[in-house]
Amino acid sequence: MFDLTYVDISGTMGLIATGLLTFNFLLGMMLSTAYKKKAYWKKLPETIKKISIDDLHNWTAYVAMFFVILHPLFLLLDKAQKFTLTDVLWPVNAPKQSNIVLLGTISFYAFIIVIITTQKVIKKKMSFRLWKNIHLISYATALLFLVHGLLMDPLLKDRPVDWLDAEKFFSEFCLLLFVVLSLVRVRYHFRSASK
């Protein structure tokens, strides 16, 4: 019989958050381009074209935030790991892999800043340039949470990274997708700027 621990649940919440945040990031990159003018978009079925990418981008961020918050909370329930609320909020002295946990915590704070500044009431009070510069934090945030997921031992036993583990493979795939599409997005930016 399989015994599910709080550490296992925490890891699962982290993987779900990774998938959602990667998808959300890709939607954000799509929104920052003229995707509706592209031939591939025009060839899609009308039912897909009716989906509001903007709404989907917002809702995946909120759902991801839910899983991001659950991810460390389950660690607090596992008494064997000895994580405290302080270790989660500022993990410089965390009982396990404190530097890697810190990457996840920093990405969490950056994610909160991006979410807060995207709220309509706050966004209206900011210039577009300021909002855009804050929103660009998402690139660093994505990189931090992906590296956090890659380097963290899912069992919190300080084992070396098993690059062929299924969970790590998922994080590797998300990182590869993030890097490739970020390069495509940067290329799009420079091509658009030169026109």
pLDDT value for 39:
85
Which token pair is 61? 């961020």
Cα 182 to Cα 33: distance, rounded to the nearest angstrom: 12
pLDDT one digit per residue (tens) for the chain, 195 residues: 568 899 999 999 999 999 999 999 999 988 888 888 888 888 889 998 899 999 999 999 999 999 999 999 999 999 888 999 999 999 989 999 999 999 999 999 999 999 999 999 999 999 999 998 998 888 899 999 999 999 999 888 889 999 999 889 999 999 999 999 999 888 888 888 777
- First-to-last C-alpha distance (Å) of the chain: 62
pLDDT value for 66:
97
Look up the pTM and report it: 0.90
User: What number of helices (H) and strands (E) belong to the chain?
Assistant: 10, 0
Cα 152 to Cα 71: distance, rounded to the nearest angstrom: 13
Contact present, 21 and 177 (Cβ < 8 Å): no
Question: What is the sign of the dihedral through the CA atoms of 167, 168, 172 and 174?
Answer: positive
